[in-house]
Structure 1
Amino acid sequence: MAEGLTLAIDIGTGSARAALVDGQGVVLRVAAREHDQIVPQFGWAEQRPAQWWDGTVAAIRDLLDGMPEARQSIEAIAACGQMHGTVLVDGDGDLTRDTAPLWNDKRTAAAVAAFETANPSADYLKLTGNPPTPAWPGFKLAWLRDNDPGAYARAAHVLMPKDYINLRLTGVAAMDRGDVSCSFLNDCATDDWSPAMIAALGLDAAKLPPVRDPRDILGAVTPEAARETGLRAGTPVLVGSADYPAALLGAGVCRPGLASDVTGTSCIMTVIAERPILDPEICNVATVEGGWGAFVLLETGGDAVRWARRALHERRLDYAAIMDQAETAPAGCDGLFFLPYLTGERLGAHRNARAQFFGLGAGHGLAHLDRALLEGVGFAGNRALRIMADRAGQKVERVIATSGGAKSPLWLKIKASAYNLPILVPREAESGLVACAAMAAAATGRFASLHAAVDAFVRFEPEILPDPAWAERYARMQPIFDQLYQQSQSLYDALDALSD
């Protein structure tokens, strides 16, 4: 068995996973246990933290059963996990509430709207670096205070999902700067909790755990945790990272000049910067290496193709066939545009935005519509990319693409041409697990720095270059797309009124 193994743990929305990663950053083996979301009523989403722990224990035991010699070779344990899930524990580490509201829980929407109305954005942006949304734990914690006061009163610590796993492993409570940066209770200038934001939401600062660097050694596996998991007692455990900063790091997006395109159901565009970009339509997350990731989330990314398969093709074509058909249409689709706002926008004054085709003519067919969907997501992504780069004063040199959208050569070429930038795709899709291994390798001294570990671990497929003719065409279309985006906003409220 090779030396220098990392046990990487990933607490996702769908499963708890454990993986063994070798000293070269190669994922050797992964084990998982699924867990479900609980939906007590429309718009709510919860999970049981105890199930995360049970799933983690089972996954670790699966790994060690399959590779029993690994137990002695694990140098460190590092976890990443879904963000914003708000866990309450008492001074003994026991749950005071058996469920935790998740990142996609919307029960605080009314409180968020009231906060926005009562507070000028300049007051909170300079502290939090983020606009208010129902996702942030600050609002979730206020809801728990008001609606489950007994659990709130008994709580000694508020933790995020991976922090709860770390607590069960080590007995130590802490939170990394990435999760803290998206709590709406932070001060982005100090990388610590903000007394002003805590007071604004009427919360108890004593319940917030120490803020630690993701690369720090948090503690060691306790004898009790060793008995449960089969791990070696005393194995070092890192503070670890929120899952999105980990995914950025494990994809190699960890220096200014790099941007990320994560296109799954949605599309998240991120620009690495030295400081947060303070804008009510841009979010910011602290990155593992010590910088910031400014990001914009487009609610419709790959969901545009899913919609087309249902609405345009009545599910007669699979996704590969839709891409093949789209490839037969010319770049620019003979002047056809698609605004990809099928489910509105996450932030801003027009969250009730709609999707639309613009420029339809008698010569257009299904292939044009299919390609326009792909190009529309590219134009929307490029708009976000340019705004963030301009406000950061940072020239973007390359975009690193991950998730499902990175599997389509056509879509990658369209985006490279729309962005007029080379696109790289990591060879290893498990970027969060690679990030855990890179953090552990730096923390245990096998690499002189985190950047050195990432450079050694992250490998890329050949880069996708812009097509010069497509790039020229898209550069002429982008201003029209931007104008459509702006001018359409005046009609969304009127559309809503039609349904009254």
Structure 2
Amino acid sequence: MRSDDLILAIDVGTGSVRAALVDASGHIVSIVAREHDQIVPQFGWSEQRPADWWEGVVTAVRGVLSAVPDAAGRIEAICACGQMHGTVLVDADGQPTRDTVPLWNDKRTAGLVGAFEEANAAQTYLARTGNPPTPAWPAFKLQWIRDADPDAYRRAAAVIMPKDYVNFRLTGEIEMDRTEAACSFLMDPRTGDWSPEMVDRLGLDLQKLVPIRGAMEVLGRVTRQAAMQTGLREGTPVLVGGGDYPVALAGSGVLAPGLGSEMIGTSCIVTTIADRPILAPEISNVGTVDGAWGAFMLLESGGDAMRWARRALHEGTVSYETIVERAAEAPPGSDRLFFVPYLTGERFGRHRNARAQFFGLAAGHGLTHLHRAVLEGVAFAVKRHIDVMEANGGPRVERLVASGGGARTDLWLRIKASCYGIPILVPQEAECGIVGCAAMAATAMGRFPSLTNAAAAYVSFEREVSPEPRWAETYQRMQPVFERLYHHSQALYDDLDALA
């Protein structure tokens, strides 16, 4: 890789496709985004058109190429990441058998997941899947398509994910990486290959599952047709790539045990790196791009809790900055006011119908207490997740890397560091997925001996947020109360539903 060589990173997100050129030092030279629609045919459904992803790739790639002199000739390799779990069925010619595909946030498979849980004890499948069941996983989306659109299922020759479809349009090759396969509910983590037993148990077709490759392997090269459409140089190497979430882990420097990740947007995902999956009904596991495992737990209401507070308490008339300023006026612990943040339930476990609540309200509490309690409630819930992973054999988290929109809120970072008792690092470059793609491609092209070396060169941190001792003492006393509140409330969720 010459000093003037570039990496092309492509991120197929839920809201847009982004293309970026990254130089040999890991700096983003140019980035262009092309938005696409999310289709909601009915409540709980979420779909997109693969054709829209490819149109976005063509537009975004041409945009970055036009911004940098001789860019196409300088691109050493291409690496794509993308939204996970979007289940694309293609026929023998690579054409989608359905115009739209169900996305990661599509809930139409909830009934199928419930039926599976009723019929199967956790100990019979956790070791074979590495994950508890959830409507997000492609296995259940395939079941739904099999039953609701049998013609599309019958005509399908292969099942791939969003970035795999883009890779096919670039190279003509169809394969999948282990980061995606590991979160399909069909890959056996012990073998790293598809599980014939789980495929059979779910009534699916093993022949439709494509080979599983390493994320940093070269998949193929840009075809003449793709070069004509995008402006890329024919023959440019294209990596297998990975899911946006594990690629962003690499792009934030989270690659070894002891270093954790918290990605906070609408939801909040906390991840710890381990040598093998942590098998427990509440814990999910994703394959990392370099062959390890990321154990993670997801809180559905992360940033969404603040969004709810803005809407419910102010009818959207004040800014998020104002809400944070008001929260800062309240004391740590909000004068013993708790917020349980399960506004949209939980993704895993027996209590997907969980609810949110304030507990401990007294006459002396006001808006400032409510706002701080919301921020603290999310922190207590994530702290619970960290404790659950450690209690089930996960490595102790010594530092946490924060990314996403929530990483820009200083008060929230101080609350979290104090609640977790862990220093929090904030990356200099917020585009962790793009940086991760660049680090993977640079490693694959031989610029670095390992992804760890690439991440060390490409990832830097703008600051470290340390726990504040007085706050930490308050939160340490409150955490056991939050835990009891969490468990005791579960008995009431079904009663609440019965009132509907």
Matched, 1:119 2:120: yes
Give the conservation status (yes or no) of the 8 Å contact 1:271–1:389: no
Matched residue, 1:19: 20
Matched residue, 1:40: 41
C-alpha distance 94-316 of structure 1, shift in aligned 2 (>3 A): closer
The residue type paired with residue 189 of structure 1 is R
Give the conservation status (yes or no) of the 8 Å contact 1:4–1:23: yes
Deviations 1:15-55 (A, max 9, x none): 11111011111111111211112222222221111111111
Q: Matched residues in 2 for 1:457 and 1:439: separation?
A: 11
Q: How does 1:36-435 map to 2 (within 5 A)?
A: 36-435=37-436
Give secondary structure in 2 for the equivalent of 1:17: strand
C-alpha distance 473-252 of structure 1, shift in aligned 2 (>3 A): same
Deviations 1:275-332 (A, max 9, x none): 1111111111111121111111111111111111122223332111111111111111
Give secondary structure in 2 for the equivalent of 1:333: coil
Instruction: Name the % identity.
Output: 64
Matched residue, 1:479: 480
Q: Matched residues in 1 for 2:290 and 2:214: separation?
A: 9
Give the conservation status (yes or no) of the 8 Å contact 2:285–2:294: yes
Residue 259 (structure 1) shift: 1.1
Give the conservation status (yes or no) of the 8 Å contact 2:278–2:394: no
Residue 260 (structure 1) shift: 1.1
Q: Matched residues in 1 for 2:232 and 2:268: separation?
A: 38
The residue type paired with residue 105 of structure 1 is D
Deviations 1:389-436 (A, max 9, x none): 231341111011111111111000000000001000101110000000
TM-score, normalised to structure 1's length?
0.98
The residue type paired with residue 461 of structure 2 is F
Q: Matched residues in 1 for 2:315 and 2:162: separation?
A: 39
Q: Matched residues in 1 for 2:46 and 2:482: separation?
A: 35
Aligned length: 499
Residue 263 (structure 1) shift: 1.4
Stretches of structure 1 that go unaligned for 5 or more consecutive residues are none
Give the conservation status (yes or no) of the 8 Å contact 1:273–1:392: no
The residue type paired with residue 339 of structure 1 is V
Q: Matched residues in 2 for 1:249 and 1:78: separation?
A: 13
Matched residue, 2:470: 469
Q: Matched residues in 2 for 1:89 and 1:45: separation?
A: 19
The residue type paired with residue 310 of structure 2 is R
The residue type paired with residue 15 of structure 1 is S
Deviations 1:72-109 (A, max 9, x none): 11000000001111111122222222221111112211
Deviations 1:461-480 (A, max 9, x none): 12000001111111111111
Q: Matched residues in 2 for 1:96 and 1:433: separation?
A: 30
The residue type paired with residue 139 of structure 1 is F
Give the conservation status (yes or no) of the 8 Å contact 2:8–2:79: yes
Stretches of structure 2 that go unaligned for 5 or more consecutive residues are none
Q: What is the Cα-based RMSD across aligned positions, in Å?
A: 1.2
Q: Matched residues in 1 for 2:352 and 2:54: separation?
A: 36
Q: Matched residues in 2 for 1:197 and 1:481: separation?
A: 37
The residue type paired with residue 376 of structure 1 is G
Residue 4 (structure 1) shift: 2.7
The residue type paired with residue 275 of structure 2 is E
TM-score, normalised to structure 2's length?
0.98
Give the conservation status (yes or no) of the 8 Å contact 2:280–2:392: no
Residue 349 (structure 1) shift: 1.1
Q: Matched residues in 2 for 1:3 and 1:237: separation?
A: 19
